[in-house]
Amino acid sequence: MSENLPSAATPPATGKHKYDVAIIGAGFAGLSAAMQLARARRNICVIDAGEPRNRFATTAHGFLGHDGKTPDEIRSTAIDQLCRYDTVDFRNGLVTQAMACTLRDASDPLFGLKLADGSALEARRIILATGVRDQLPEIPGLAERWGETVLHCPYCHGYEIRDSQIGVLATTPASSHQAMMLPDWGPTTYFSQSEHIPDDDMLLAMRARGITIEDSPVVEVLGTAPAIDGVRLADGRTLPIQTIFAGPSVSMPTPVADMLECQFDEGPQGSFITVSPTQETSVPGVFAAGDAATARHNATLASAAGVMAGFGAHQSLVFR
């Protein structure tokens, strides 16, 4: 579990603490947004519930300048740097209520947030950087290996598992596209689970890449976790697999975006918050970044989207 955020400044005696921007989520996206706004000398509050999506991963890879560091190490360094800016507050806690206040004109909205501990704050802008919650298929032995030998992103983890026996557990029609990439890292078997059988053209392409295709569903992951010795199939066979790539279904970890009435798009793994090129949602004054606001999940992309959300939120305060 990630360490907590630093303590927040004490709210004023009048009750709610007012900020230019409240950032919900202190992962790569939220902290990247916070850095831009801190450097713009805006009063901001970063709120985090302490359960980042990448807490199951031992290391982060492909993130320029941070390759091989733990997610907590990257996050802690960013928080230490943000603490040097005197306009940044931090709060540990879960946002339980979010609402638009009606006391300001539409061009410069005001939002109210309440936390599980009963505290409250107001902000002129909100950035949603909550990440997503993963839901893996209910196959014995899968969940306890998540983030170590059961993975989701070949670009994040492929090099570290190179030359192992790789299995792709199909969860969506897009799983066959993931399988097509993985032979660059090791011998690959595609498990269609009898639900996501590739069409004829894709079958030819997969076979040309040397991919083995199994239609009998995986029913159990074998071995002492986190290691994988193999998988058991519904037809009774066992196959020697050492790494599994499985695309989880995703959902919002909190209902805050729904509370604010943000619109959503549908992706192959689940819904995500609709945003403009400036990362603004369908609700004026509410921005979103990171895995919660895209179908493409990657640490560098999350950080970049956070930067854009920080820019967008700042400029919306200037050019309202």
Q: What CATH number should be reported for the domain holding residue 234? A: 3.50.50.60
Average pLDDT over the chain, rounded to an integer:
90
- Checking if the pLDDT of 157 tops 80, the result is yes
- Checking if the pLDDT of 12 tops 60, the result is no
Domain membership of residue 4 (yes or no) is: no
Per the omega criterion (within 30 degrees of 0), is the bond before 187 cis? no
What pLDDT band is residue 4 in, cutting at 50, 70 and 90?
Answer: low
Q: Are residues 39 and 97 in the same domain?
A: yes
Domain membership of residue 12 (yes or no) is: no
The domain tally of the chain equals 2
Domain membership of residue 3 (yes or no) is: no
Q: Are residues 120 and 258 in the same domain?
A: yes
Domain membership of residue 180 (yes or no) is: yes
Q: Are residues 150 and 173 in the same domain?
A: yes
Percent of residues, the chain, with pLDDT higher than 90: 72
> How crowded is residue 60: how many other Cβ atoms within 10 Å of its Cβ?
22
Strand stretches in the chain, DSSP E? 17-24, 44-48, 88-92, 95-101, 110-115, 120-128, 133-135, 150-151, 166-169, 188-191, 212-214, 218-222, 230-233, 238-239, 243-246, 249-251, 264-266, 271-273, 286-288
Domain membership of residue 307 (yes or no) is: yes
Q: Are residues 22 and 129 in the same domain?
A: yes
What pLDDT does residue 2 have? 43
User: Tokens 């202190």 belong to which residue?
Assistant: 26
Q: Are residues 101 and 230 in the same domain?
A: no
**What are the backbone dihedrals phi and psi of residue 261, each rounded to the nearest 5 degrees, phi first?**
65, 40
Domain membership of residue 1 (yes or no) is: no
- Checking if the pLDDT of 196 tops 90, the result is yes
- Checking if the pLDDT of 45 tops 80, the result is yes
Mind listing the pLDDT tens digit for each residue in 66-85?
877 788 888 899 999 999 99
Residues of the domain holding 114: 17-133+249-318
**Average pLDDT rounded to a whole number, residues 265-272:** 91
Q: Are residues 220 and 255 in the same domain?
A: no
What pLDDT band is residue 102 in, cutting at 50, 70 and 90?
Answer: low
- Checking if the pLDDT of 3 tops 80, the result is no
